[in-house]
Amino acid sequence: MAQLCFLGTGGSVATEKRDNTALVISSGEALLLIDCPGGVIQKIKRLGFDPRSVTSILVTHIHPDHIYGLPSFVHSLMLDECLVELYGSEETIRFCQDLLDLFHLREEKIKTRICFKNTEKNKIYRLSSSLIFSAMRIPHDSSSLAYRFRFEDTRRDLTYSGDTPVFPSLFKASAGIDYLIHDCSAPSRFFNKYPSLYRMHTHSLDLGRLSQEAKVRCLIPCHFFGELDFSLAEIEKEIRENFEGKLIVPQDLIKIDL
């Protein structure tokens, strides 16, 4: 059975309980890492996985809290014969290449090799014998992508939004989906207080309403702001004002069977 594991569930400002959002999906022989902030190697080990088993990295966008740990990830494994495919937008691929080059981590002496793959619209990519994915452009940053996964052995689907404001096309594409992991940065009161947030992120009241309209079966909010004072109970209450499906509010290092 595939597992979804959260390395972190917070926004750009980490707290004592939440680090930057990043995910691991374990599916058969594949270990997939989604985004690569700091401390990834240690967290993967704490979850009981071998970091050398990571076969693919999917990067949602190139803001620091989603990519700054990539050089450390490669450097930590530099003595191991590993081949890791890294997927992202064209802008993301260029940025990641430049970032590794800053630390000379693509030189011949580095045994862990990164194979860069620019995702194309409407193309299906295979990560393992039972796991495929496609990518969708979303607002937030010019490099931003959302990812949709298909677990062929269980015929279940999962969408991960990455950081995004409300984007109707994403909910339309996710209608009736088994799992939606979506930006839920803060309760609505903070968006009303700081309207610029509407251009970059999604609040819990909108997320619950749109997920209900899309008939999402299981909603998993994440990317909770660490710099604002609110509780997860407030997040859950706002989502539940409209959403009737299964709701999982994740903690760091939680494992979810898919």
Q: What is the pTM of this model?
A: 0.97
What is the total residue count of the chain?
258
Name the residue type at position 150. R
Domain range holding 103?
Answer: 3-257
C-alpha span between 165 and 144 (Å, rounded): 11
Pinpoint the alpha helices (H) of the chain.
Answer: 40-46, 64-67, 70-76, 90-102, 168-173, 188-193, 204-213, 232-240
C-alpha span between 204 and 192 (Å, rounded): 12
C-alpha distances out from residue 178 to 23, 159, 220, Å = 17, 9, 11
Give the residue carrying structure tokens 């509010």.
249
How far is C-alpha 45 from the chain's CA centre?
A: 19
Percent of the chain as helix, strand, coil, to the nearest 5: 25, 30, 45
Residue 80: helix, strand or coil by DSSP?
A: coil
CATH number of the domain that residue 121 is part of? 3.60.15.10
Q: What angle do CA 69, 70, 74 make, to 5 degrees?
A: 120
C-alpha span between 63 and 255 (Å, rounded): 25
Q: What angle do CA 31, 80, 126 make, to 5 degrees?
A: 30
Give the residue carrying structure tokens 């409407």.
122
Q: What is the pLDDT along the chain (258 residues), one digit of tens a residue?
A: 899 999 999 999 999 999 999 999 998 778 999 999 999 999 999 999 999 999 999 999 999 999 999 999 999 999 999 999 999 999 999 999 999 999 999 999 999 999 999 999 889 999 999 999 999 999 999 999 999 999 999 999 999 999 999 999 999 999 999 999 999 999 999 999 999 999 999 999 999 999 999 999 999 999 999 999 999 999 999 999 999 999 999 999 999 999
Both tokens of 252, joined, read 């760091």
Buried b vs exposed e over 223-232: b needs ≥16 C-beta within 10 Å? Answer: bbbeebeeeb
Please report which helix (H) or strand (E) contains residue 43, including its range.
helix 40-46
Name the residue type at position 243. F
- Residue of 180, 178, 250 whose CA lies nearest to 208: 180
Q: What values do phi and psi take at 57, rounded to 5? A: -125, 125
Name the residue type at position 34. I
β-strand 218-222 against 246-247: which pairing, if any? parallel
C-alpha span between 147 and 159 (Å, rounded): 6
Contact 257, 5 (CB under 8 A): no
Please report which helix (H) or strand (E) contains residue 210, including its range.
helix 204-213
Question: Total domain count for the chain?
Answer: 1
